[in-house]
């Protein structure tokens, strides 16, 4: 079977079943699981499906609509966890920080120790995760609830951000492009992330390798407006070098091979 034919059939299977595991696809097409993982990575970059922990899920209109939180939560799990652990190390006692409504930010919240600091967020999941950490003061933006992302957006959420100033913001996005900058699939999410950037001294963007080179629907900001990128070790070396040449601080986390092999 030709590679293109296998890719087409994988997309059809994912669309039909809504989700499927790497091991199943390996058996169906009689190829190695590593081959299937490479197939899924390519198909995800083409916006034909989304990788999940151990397989793939079907996402309609990947580029132009917001992916529900329960799907994002299981996509590229190993990468997100390692990136989040690295981000959490950068948060110190007494900091005032922003965590956005991304699933990576939720992993950051899970990794944070219970130390005195202030967290401003528009994420219900982040706020709930931090509610058990007594020394962390949590400030929610309020606004219009988006049920897909379990986050607050809209004019109230945006204006509430203007009341604060933080020293660090940790955000994620749908895509990072050398010319277009960072972008998101949802305009309202892009607008509130833009506000988060405006009120922050230092902006950290947390993205896995699948986000590089992607131009999503709604622009957030140019690369000149961010300070630091935290990503995984699978990022394209040429892209990594281009970003460093632009004087951006870059951190690559080395994935635990045992856990990343499940993807």
Average pLDDT over residues 221-233: 95
In whole numbers, what is the pLDDT of the chain averaged over residues?
88
Digit-coded pLDDT (tens) for 34-77: 999 999 988 887 778 888 778 888 765 444 455 555 555 555 68
Residue 89 sits in a domain whose CATH number is 3.40.50.1360
Residue 25 sits in a domain whose CATH number is 1.10.10.10
On the question of pLDDT at 218 being above 50, the answer is yes
* pLDDT for the residue numbered 263: 29
The confidence band for 187, taking pLDDT boundaries of 50, 70 and 90, is very high
Average pLDDT over residues 81-110: 96
The rounded Cα 232 to chain-centroid distance in angstroms is 12
Instruction: Please state whether 43 falls in left (phi above 0), alpha (psi between -120 and 50) or beta.
Output: alpha
Query: How many structural domains are present in the chain?
Result: 2
Average pLDDT over residues 173-184: 93
Digit-coded pLDDT (tens) for 235-262: 888 888 899 888 889 998 976 543 333 3
One domain for residues 219 and 101: yes
Most confident range (mean pLDDT) of 17-31, 162-176, 238-252 is 162-176
Contacts of 83 (CB under 8 A, 6+ apart): 104, 107, 206, 207, 208, 230, 231, 232, 253
One domain for residues 247 and 142: yes
One domain for residues 116 and 173: yes
Locate the DSSP E strands across 53-114. 55-57, 96-99
Helix residue ranges per DSSP H, 147-251:
155-161, 187-198, 237-245
| Residue 69 placed within a domain | no
One domain for residues 11 and 84: no
* pLDDT for the residue numbered 31: 94
One domain for residues 38 and 122: no
On the question of pLDDT at 200 being above 50, the answer is yes
21-35, 55-69, 144-158, 225-239: range with lowest mean pLDDT:
55-69
With b for 16 or more beta-carbon neighbours within 10 A and e for fewer, the 80-114 pattern comes to bbbbbebbbebbeeeebbbbbbbbbbbbbbebbee
| Residue 129 placed within a domain | yes
pTM for the structure as a whole: 0.73
* pLDDT for the residue numbered 247: 80
One domain for residues 219 and 141: yes
Range of the structural domain that residue 217 is part of: 77-255
On the question of pLDDT at 193 being above 80, the answer is yes
User: Residue 31, Cβ neighbours under 10 Å: how many?
Assistant: 16
On the question of pLDDT at 78 being above 50, the answer is yes
């Amino acid at each position: 079977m030709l590679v293109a034919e296998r890719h087409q059939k994988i997309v059809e299977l994912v669309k039909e079943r809504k989700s499927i595991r790497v091991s199943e696809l390996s058996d169906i097409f009689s190829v190695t699981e590593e081959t299937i993982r490479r197939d899924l990575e390519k198909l995800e970059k083409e916006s034909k499906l989304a990788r999940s922990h151990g397989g793939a899920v079907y996402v309609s209109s990947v580029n132009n609509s917001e992916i529900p939180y329960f799907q994002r939560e299981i996509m590229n799990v190993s990468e997100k966890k390692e990136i989040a652990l690295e981000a959490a190390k950068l948060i110190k006692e007494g900091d005032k920080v922003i965590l956005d409504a991304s699933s990576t930010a939720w992993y950051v919240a899970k990794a944070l120790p219970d130390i005195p600091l202030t967290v401003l967020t528009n994420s219900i999941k982040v706020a709930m995760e931090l509610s058990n950490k007594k020394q962390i003061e949590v400030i929610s933006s309020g606004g219009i609830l988006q049920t897909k992302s379990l986050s607050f957006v809209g004019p109230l959420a945006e204006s509430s951000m203007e009341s604060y100033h933080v020293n660090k913001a940790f955000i994620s996005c749908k895509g990072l492009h050398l010319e277009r900058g960072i972008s998101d699939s949802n305009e309202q999410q892009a607008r509130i992330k833009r506000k988060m950037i405006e009120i922050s001294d230092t902006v950290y963007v947390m993205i896995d390798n699948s986000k590089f080179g992607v131009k999503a629907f709604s622009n957030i900001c140019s690369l000149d407006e961010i300070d630091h990128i935290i990503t995984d070790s699978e990022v394209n070396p040429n892209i990594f070098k281009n970003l460093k040449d632009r004087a951006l601080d870059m951190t690559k986390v080395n994935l635990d091979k045992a856990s990343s092999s499940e993807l």
